Amino acid sequence: MSRLPTFDDVHHAAARIAASVKKTPVLTSKDLNDRTGGRIFLKAECLQKTGSFKFRGATNKLLQLTESERAAGVVAWSTGNHAQGVAAAAKALGVSAKIVMPSDAPQTKLGGTRSHGAKVVFYDRATDDREEIGRRIAREEGRTVVPPYDDFDIICGQGTAGLELVDQVTELDATLDDVLVPASGGGLLAGVSLAVHGHFPEAQFFVVEPRSFDDHKRSLDSGHRESNALATGSICDALLAPTPGTLTWQVNCTRLTGGYAVTDEEVLDAIAFAYHTFDIRLEPGGAVALAALLNGCHDAAGRSVALILSGSNVDDDTFNRALARLPTGT
């Protein structure tokens, strides 16, 4: 068994990437507190460089490449946010990046990836194995694989968002009772739980996923890693990994209290709420934790609750669908 990342490892990652990443804000709203009966803190990773938390893990991974590895380049597979994070981190370091992306990736994510100079290789989400394609490229071209979540350095990099969250909540004279985190393969969830539990060991963690793609919730219920029956079918394109990661699940299975699954309609409502309340754009996958709070899945009454708003890379059609759900005159 590989060594599992620790709280100290997340701290080392934070020092390593401090000069490269943005410290994203924690947002609060009296109206949201009144609506839920709790004290709510929203960690806005949607405002991170490249529009998602993924830039943290990618930067932590690439900064540790040797000179020869940098010269050979990197390869990653992603629906879009990890792709952009890797592409941007690679560009900053002068490293060649090749990214395996689904043919139905949102144009905003595809354009963002290419804007950083990465070469894109397409795959069919329903029939192709993106990891096999990426690892074949790595073998043939000598590139270093930068996995989207199931990797020690990626987990630690994502966890730095949790360290910031702890500092920011502490500055507001609060502790954390509950933390709601979106999950695809579980890298963000693993990293943030390590960071938060290092300061607030009693905090409870809840995973939030799209309906029919709630493999983490079902894995927690069954006691072993479950897989999703579908490969497509949700607007939450960033959260459609087939099963929890091997390494990430070793961390998450001991830290999760529960999980929620939200519908596309609830996600659209959350996107609209975030824009109306905070003037921020959320992509569907970045809005699931907020959706679980707004729809009443998570009872925040009398508790301090943090949500991770994980990404902002939403296409205009989906964003406009969400805004159309706002009451007239809002």
Tell me which amino acid residue 269 is. Answer: D
Q: What is the pLDDT confidence band of residue 125, given thresholds at 50, 70 and 90?
A: confident
Beta bridge partners of 205: 179, 256
Check residue 329 and give its pLDDT: 60
Flag whether pLDDT at 56 surpasses 60.
yes
Check residue 64 and give its pLDDT: 98
The pair of three-digit structure tokens given for residue 197, joined into one six-digit string: 């539990």
The pair of three-digit structure tokens given for residue 36, joined into one six-digit string: 């839920």
Can you give the length of the chain in residues?
Answer: 330
Which CA distances in Å does 202 have to 129, 193, 196, 223? 39, 11, 9, 21
Query: Mean per-residue pLDDT for 66-78?
Result: 98
Check residue 238 and give its pLDDT: 95
CA dihedral (209, 280, 101, 264) positive or negative: positive
Task: Name the pTM for this structure.
Answer: 0.97
Check residue 119 and give its pLDDT: 97
Check residue 327 and give its pLDDT: 80
Flag whether pLDDT at 160 surpasses 70.
yes
Q: What is the CATH number of domain 7-53+151-323?
A: 3.40.50.1100
Query: Other CB atoms closer than 10 Å to residue 15's CB: what's the count?
Result: 9
Query: Mean per-residue pLDDT for 246-263?
Result: 98
- Mean pLDDT for all residues in the chain: 97
Give the pLDDT confidence of 261-293 residue by residue, as tens digits: 999 999 999 999 999 999 999 999 999 999 999
Helix (H, G, I), strand (E, B) or coil at 206: strand
Domain ranges of the chain: 7-53+151-323, 55-145
Which CA distances in Å does 181 have to 161, 216, 256? 11, 11, 10
Q: What is the pLDDT confidence band of residue 330, given thresholds at 50, 70 and 90?
A: low
Contact status, residue 14 vs residue 160, Cβ threshold 8 Å = yes
Q: Which fold has domain 55-145?
A: Rossmann fold (3.40.50)
